[in-house]
Structure formats: structure tokens, C-alpha cells
Amino acid sequence: MASTLRKITMAVLAPAMAIGATVGLASAPASAAVWSSCDQWGNTSLNGYTLYNNIWGSGAGSQCIWANSGTNWGVNANHPNTGGIKSYPNSKKVINKSITSLGSLSSSYNVSVPSSGAYNTSYDIWDTDYDYEIMLWVNKTGAVGPLGTSQGNVTLGGHTWTVYKGTNGANEVFSFVRTSNSSSGTVNILPILKWIKDTKGWFGNETIGDVQFGFEITSSNGGLDFAANNLTVSSS
């Protein structure tokens, strides 16, 4: 998506960069979590994953993240019903292997998402130089859509996707949008990367840095809950 790179670069900035008095007003889950934060750039590392609250878009409201572990976490978000991505709360697993050196790269997900609002649930995969962004949308709701132009449908990694190719000015973006919404499943990511590299020739033997998974939220007026009930990313 446009300005998606800010999801990487801005997440590491100091929490002092507040976007307004509304940040921090959302409530964490009633039950005590291992970790929670209402800070704009709140983050922590758990069980080999790094969690980010990551409220990066303009006009954002409030949002709090909680985690029971690196693979079980969620947010309560209250962003206004306006256009533009407000946040991408996510968990990140670092890979740091080239495509040809990977023997496997896969992920399983199970999420609970609201029936209202505007958002997508997606993987955000980056090369180490942040020249290329590969997004895998497993579900979407409301007025949201990927960057770029449609390249048709393809079945890869256990799912059928509509593929979009575009650029946000800072990096090229390849978006794979699942043709039907899913709240749980397993994605074999490596065949998708090899298809981009070998079949389409859109990039070379890139080194894959980060595999992120989260909720790209445009609006969640009134306060909506998003949860990754279970998420695992594995590679060899």
C-alpha cells in the first residue's frame, strides 16, 4: 500500500512522537496479558517474535496492543471512519535468508476479526534492503484495496489469489489478495517468492528479512477488537 514502508521505519522511532491526545485512550483486554501497550510505537519481543502497536497513519485514533505470547496477541482499535491506513499492528519474525537458500518458509494463522470497519489481515514480507514488499491478504472488510494493477489470478501456497503489482515510490509492491476471506489456514510462502522470482522475474535472489503478520486498519470507529489467536512462522 502507499507509504507502507513507514510501517517498518516509523515503528522503531521513539514513543515520544505522539500523534495526538487520543493515542493511549483505548483499553487493553480485561484479563491480564503478559504485555500490553497503548503507545504509538509500543513494541516488545516474545518467543522469537517482535510485536508492534505501530500507529503510523495520519488522522489515527486510539489503539492498544496486548500479548499473551509472541503467537497470541491482539489490539483494540478506535480509528475514525476516514480514508487512509491508520495502523498496522503486527508481529514480526526475522528470516535473513536468500530465496535459493531457503528450504521452506511457511506460516499458520488463526484470527478473530470484526464484521465492520475497514481493514485487511495480511502478511507483509520484506527483503533486507526494503526494495520489495510482498503482501498476502488473507481477508479484507470494507473500503480497502491493494496498490497497483491486477495481474490476474494464481493458485500458490495452498490458496488462490488475485495478484497486484505496483509501486509506492519507495519500493515495489506485490500484493496477493485471497479470492475469498479466511480466518485460519496455512500459507506456504516459499512457492510464492519463487513464482515472483523465477516465473515472473520481478526480482532476483533477494534475501528475505522480515515476515510480518497483522491487521492493516483504515477505520474501526467506536472501538473494534482484532486478535491473532495463533500465529506461527517457520523456516529452514
Residue 1 lies in a domain: no
Residue 20 lies in a domain: yes
Alpha-carbon radius of gyration of the chain = 17
pLDDT (tens digit per residue) in 179-236: 999 999 999 999 999 999 999 999 999 999 999 999 999 999 999 999 999 999 999 9
Tell me what the pLDDT averaged over the chain comes to: 90
Residue 206 lies in a domain: yes
Q: State yes or no: pLDDT of 82 exceeds 90.
A: yes
pLDDT (tens digit per residue) in 21-71: 334 344 445 456 999 999 999 999 999 999 999 999 999 999 999 999 999
pLDDT (mean) for 158-163: 98
pTM of the model: 0.88
Q: State yes or no: pLDDT of 15 exceeds 50.
A: no
Residue 73 lies in a domain: yes
Give the Cα-Cα-Cα angle 47, 52, 55 (nearest 5 degrees): 170
Nearest CA among 93, 87, 70 for reference residue 215: 87
pLDDT (mean) for 103-116: 98
Residue 52 lies in a domain: yes
Q: What is the DSSP string of 125-146?
A: EEETTS-EEEEEEEEEESS---
Q: Residue 189's domain spans which residues?
A: 6-235
**What CATH number should be reported for the domain holding residue 58?**
2.60.120.180
Residue 41 lies in a domain: yes
Count of domains observed in the chain:
1
Residue 51 lies in a domain: yes
Read off φ and ψ for residue 124, nearest 5 degrees: -130, 110
